[in-house]
């Protein structure tokens, strides 16, 4: 029903405007939506324990969809095993100028240059205080106006404020839409940033998992550096991958837009990164696989490549909520 009736209607409108409309609809009329959506699969065989947390199933929602923690309860009700909010920054910021979100229908992809638009960490916390049983990841970043040499302070602020309200953290230094942010992926600044957050973490009575989200555009040498950094800083794991700057083999008219590309064109590369990290590290840390998951087979390939969990974003938009059940059914069938 989603692909034949709902998606064609939604795709007639501007993607950012319809995103906000959908959020409002679910917030106010979510009970109606449930009448037309498949019932989520609940099966103990889907449960996973990863970095000390228990996930009811291995399919999560990636950061960027529910930036401000406005719909985590309703989205969890669709069958997601966990919800990652953000990217959140210490201060509210509008993000980049519109238009900044583009569909590439022929490529089953999206290009975004949102620029960490969010209401700030304090606003999100007020909503998270109402959370009862949704497993939440907190994706954190720096404000656009904060220079890189002071970025660690922004991450520290978000970490300290969010700590009581999220189950794990994700350090985002891989978005291509904040000027110079990806420079923080270099070995020295990244090690310093993660070490600082881990020191804060270890001061807590019960530390929480910290993960690093990386770009798919890193070279093999840079990926080996990532492995060294994860081991040195003792963070819990890696999310592979964020959006790409590559525009290889695209056919859509929006292919030249600036920003990060997500969706099917990223499927192969993100799986390659997962496999590289898993094999070269000797499976030393868990990996959450994300990037171009548009089918159950795409998810299985990432799990077989070494991912412990997977996340959806663009595939969720193109394929609809049914994709969650399809993946979980396939996992049960394959007994992964």
Active site residues: 175
DSSP letter (8 states) at residue 149? G
Q: Both tokens of residue 28?
A: 């106010």
Q: Report the 10 Å Cβ neighbour count for 129.
A: 10
Distance CA 336, CA 304 (A): 8
Beta strands in 28-81, from DSSP E residues, in sequence order: 48-50, 53-55, 59-61
The C-alpha atoms of residue 119 and residue 54 are separated, in whole angstroms, by 29
N-to-C CA span, the chain: 29
Reduced to 3 states (helix: H, G, I; strand: E, B; else coil), residue 253 is coil
- Phi first, then psi: give them for residue 314, nearest 5 degrees: -60, -40
Question: Among 314, 307, 328, which residue's Cα sits nearest to residue 109?
Answer: 314
- Give which of 249, 336, 235, 229 is closest to 292, Cα–Cα: 249
Instruction: List the one residue out of 106, 37, 30 whose CA is nearest residue 71.
Output: 30
């Amino acid at each position: 029903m989603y692909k034949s009736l709902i998606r064609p209607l939604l795709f007639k409108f501007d993607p950012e405007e319809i995103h906000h409309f959908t959020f409002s609809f679910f917030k106010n009329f979510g009970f109606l939506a449930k009448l037309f959506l498949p019932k989520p699969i609940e099966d103990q065989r889907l449960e996973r324990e990863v970095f000390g947390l228990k996930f009811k199933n291995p399919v999560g929602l990636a950061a960027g969809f529910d930036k401000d923690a406005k719909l985590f309860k309703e989205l969890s009700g669709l069958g997601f095993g966990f919800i990652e909010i953000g990217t959140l920054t210490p201060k509210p910021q509008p993000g980049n100028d519109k238009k900044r979100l583009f569909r590439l229908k022929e490529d089953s992809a999206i290009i975004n240059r949102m620029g960490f638009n969010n209401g700030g960490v304090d606003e999100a916390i007020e909503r998270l205080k109402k959370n009862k049983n949704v497993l939440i990841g907190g994706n954190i970043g720096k404000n656009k106006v904060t220079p890189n040499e002071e970025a660690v302070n922004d991450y520290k602020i978000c970490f300290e404020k969010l700590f009581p309200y999220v189950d794990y953290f994700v350090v985002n230094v891989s978005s291509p839409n904040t000027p110079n942010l990806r420079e923080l992926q270099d070995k020295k600044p990244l090690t310093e940033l993660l070490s600082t957050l881990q020191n804060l973490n270890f001061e807590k009575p019960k530390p929480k998992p910290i993960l690093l989200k990386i770009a798919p555009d890193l070279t093999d040498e840079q990926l080996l550096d990532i492995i060294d950094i994860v081991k040195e800083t003792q963070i819990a794991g890696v999310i592979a991958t964020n959006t790409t700057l590559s525009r290889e083999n695209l056919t859509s008219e929006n292919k030249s837009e600036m920003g990060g590309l997500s969706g099917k064109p990223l499927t192969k590369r993100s799986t390659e990164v997962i496999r590289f990290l898993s094999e070269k590290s000797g499976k030393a840390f868990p990996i959450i696989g994300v990037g171009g998951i548009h089918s159950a087979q795409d998810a299985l390939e990432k799990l077989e490549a070494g991912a412990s969990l997977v996340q959806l974003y663009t595939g969720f938009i193109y394929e609809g909520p049914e994709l969650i059940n399809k993946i979980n059914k396939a996992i049960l069938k394959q007994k992964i």
